[in-house]
Chains A and B, each alone.
Chain A
């Protein structure tokens, strides 16, 4: 799950964003970027696995953090696309993906990868605008 283009100090840098118990099981919380950054959705599955994805459905930019979490996936609240939390890929036959960010949980604290955050923003900046 290492971010692909970290390099130097950045890929060893992890940002603490909260505790496991801050997120309901089968639920989500949002992390906001300070300067016009895209919000990140943190998900906690029934088995307490935590995932971080850019909070923007590849279909029409719906807030995935408001969706219903099921297994290792979330259903977007706007039009029901199902996004895999581990890969960020839309469930077939829909096509599309959303950038994922590496996450670690240590002693109940949730940390996300700073380099992953930068990489996710770069992927988004390169992506064509949603139709």
Chain B
């Protein structure tokens, strides 16, 4: 490979040469700190062993969980190196350092340096057990590991993660999200014992257990089983866990092989002083490879601090010294809130502990106090006050005046008038203070970007700086900085729809009705839209609001529909579509199944899949095939299942009293009736229903938008559930005696949701926002109001219940399904 080495900046000679070994977060953060202080001081060459630009290793678990892709976690793209005249060499590991000659070697090349920065990071620890070399055994450390784990999750079903610490649990959750069945083997009795006390560790295990992760605590792994590839793990007490994928996440150790071979002083890690210098005065080191005052490092906050000191020292600062900051950890598992900082428990009798433990709600808070100051905090379930506790710890605030309120959080303590100054004191915050720990963004960088790019909104600051764009914990700080610089920070009850307008959804809907606005153009004109056409956010919303407000007269605007609703099929990642015919209440017939089978064969449809909503999905249909597929399905009586719509999707049922020995009512029949009433409706977001024939609830009605649970005495109607990312169990709306009443209540609830929820707001957050009492008031207590809502729903339904597939199979919207031309 003919990479030119140390080309330097053209025309600038005689500069000192800085060689950086390691292209990870610590080393590159140091280079950034250096460039910010002394952009022209060095010719800089960065050598990375991985074939990637610098990325945010902390977010690997989010990539594994499918919440982010690689592009999202790149910190310094290749262009950044060019822009800063930094030479980048990737995929070529350094093989030796010669401190006497001041050179590093890689392959056949020898590279001279004046100053050397080592950021060689860490290696995953491996237990000394047989079977580590088997295919299917992976560490969880870099992109290659994550790629291998994702690939394994696509081919295999069972995973075991060895290690129940932060990293291991995030790996387990990511694999679970990828559809694997996951077990965690942990040496200690409780999880994350370094960050959590026993109570919090047990709450965490209970929550993850409910999410389907199995635990083997007190589990010492003796051997990884298997011959051709990993088949499971054997524990010392004889327990055996079968698995096709074994992930090692028992910890990391400093990667000091190069430093040791070069004769630098090492212990557990590469030893550095307060100035980040190693035993060789020309060699500096930062990050997970170092040991400072007997400590090694795995969390990002102290490493940023090291980068700051090291960057300053390299730039010629003679006084900067490293002081370890207070560190805190949180776990990146959606919906599981854990926070920990400082001491986990009272160290002796002089220390005090304040705890709050609500086991049923899964909330636990603990402060450790010493001399009236917080020295540690463990939070579970409700962690929003974590940063406040850390601030009180860092500032060594005397909390005796408000210790009674402390455990209830900042808002409560401040309301009681006893706590220290409210809010975030932006003016007092130094420019160097790290605001966003995930993306490593300082206050200074946020201020500078806001000023130079003239940013005024949180979204814009996120887009340009990435501050608060990852875990979001620092959102309050970013907003405070924005407000401090004169930006508009709005905690509005009704936030602006999109960048095209300052009006919120509720205000726009109100104006549509009050001013009788009947087209998207009229709304934009009347409310002073800032863009001529609107955007992909507001146009579909306005189209829906107008359909809902004027069901008999509004003409749907196809060009303001998201592709799925315009084409009446679901677009897939390769641009093909999926086709899901309706099966009323989940019922089908041999004739329908034959028609589906015939269509799948005739059009060579690659995948046929049974869906979670009791339907059959035909995947990989090209756009041009759609009308023909629909025509064939129509002949067997199959119509659109609206699986693509912000509208009624499915009514899932169990077999009920017709067949089941436990069934109390005809749940299948009721499900069919509900689906016949509701199909074709457009709603703010998708709507899924279910009817269960008895409280065993086989149709899983209690995590649906609307669920009916049949009981001997009648029907329980439950609403506002969701089984997706944020699981929410339904709230009980009412118990009814007859099917007729059920239909009226379902129609009324759907219409209330249609008229009052914001576009793209599912029933779960909507019910959580307005409260179940409000829904009961409108639908249960108010008989006349309910009847009126139901009537409006039926009026709207009378306009939409016509099969869109049949229309298109007969030639409607033909241009959608034909290419305009073919060219050579």
Contacts and interface: CB of A to CB of B under 8 A. Distances in A.
Contacts of A60: 573
Q: Which 9 A-B pairs have the closest CB atoms?
A: A75-B536, A29-B820, A66-B563, A17-B821, A68-B536, A26-B559, A63-B575, A70-B533, A77-B563
A67 B815 contact: no
Interface in B556-613: 558-560, 562-563, 567, 571, 573, 575
Contacts of A16: 821
Contact of A24 (B575, B815, B822, B823): B815
A27 B461 CA distance: 32
Given A46-B532, A60-B573, A70-B539, A37 B823 contact: yes
A124 interface: no
Most buried by A among B464, B533, B573: B533
Contacts of A62: 573, 575
A112 B562 contact: no
A16 B821 CA distance: 9
Contacts of B463: 92-93
A31 B536 contact: no
Contacts of A34: 822-824
B70 interface: yes
B819 A31 contact: yes
Interface string B463-507: 110000000000000000000000000000000000000000000
Contact of B531 (A17, A31, A40, A71): A71
B237 interface: no
Interface string B518-539: 0000000000000111111001
B823 A66 contact: no
Interface in A80-121: 80, 82, 92-93, 112, 117
Contacts of A59: 71
22 contacts: A15-B823, A17-B820, A18-B820, A24-B815, A31-B819, A32-B819, A37-B824, A39-B819, A42-B820, A46-B533, A59-B71, A62-B573, A66-B567, A68-B562, A69-B559, A70-B535, A71-B531, A77-B571, A92-B463, A112-B823, A117-B823, A131-B70
Contact of A67 (B464, B531, B563, B820): B563
A22 B813 CA distance: 11
Contact of A80 (B532, B536, B573, B821): B536
Given A46-B532, A68-B562, A70-B534, A22 B815 contact: yes
Interface string A47-70: 000000000000110110011111
Nearest to B79: A95
Contacts of A66: 563, 567, 571, 575
Interface of B: 69-71, 463-464, 531-536, 539-540, 558-560, 562-563, 567, 571, 573, 575, 815, 819-824
Nearest to B540: A68
B180 to A, nearest CB: 24
A23 B575 contact: no
Contacts of B821: 16-18, 31-32
Given A37-B823, A71-B533, 16 more contacts: A23-B820, A29-B819, A31-B822, A34-B822, A34-B824, A40-B823, A46-B532, A60-B573, A66-B567, A68-B559, A71-B531, A75-B536, A92-B463, A93-B463, A93-B464, A131-B70
A78 interface: yes
Contact of B822 (A25, A26, A33, A75): A33
A59 B71 CA distance: 9
B71 A131 contact: yes
Contacts of B820: 17-18, 22-23, 29-31, 42
A63 to B, nearest CB: 4
Most buried by B among A68, A77, A78, A82: A68
A30 B563 contact: no
Nearest to B557: A26
A18 B779 CA distance: 54
Contacts of B531: 70-71
Contact of A30 (B535, B559, B819): B819
Contacts of B563: 66-67, 77
Contact of B823 (A27, A31, A68): A31
A39 B623 CA distance: 14
A92 to B, nearest CB: 8
Contacts of A39: 819
Contacts of A46: 532-533
A62 B563 CA distance: 12
Contacts of A17: 820-821, 823
B679 to A, nearest CB: 25
A70 B536 contact: yes
Nearest to A15: B823
A22 B558 CA distance: 15
Contacts of A93: 463-464
Nearest to A42: B820
Nearest to A78: B573
Contacts of B558: 24, 27
B680 to A, nearest CB: 23
Nearest to A44: B559
Nearest to A25: B559
A78 B69 CA distance: 14
Contacts of B532: 46, 71
B536 A26 contact: no
B16 to A, nearest CB: 33
A35 interface: yes
B533 A69 contact: yes
Contacts of B536: 67-68, 70, 75, 80, 82
A13 to B, nearest CB: 11
Contacts of B559: 24-27, 68-69
Contacts of A25: 559
A33 B823 CA distance: 5
B604 to A, nearest CB: 19
A77 B532 CA distance: 20
A72 to B, nearest CB: 9
Contacts of B71: 59, 131
A26 B754 CA distance: 27
A127 to B, nearest CB: 15
A63 B819 CA distance: 13
B444 to A, nearest CB: 20
A75 B562 CA distance: 10
A82 B820 CA distance: 23
Most buried by A among B571, B575, B820: B820
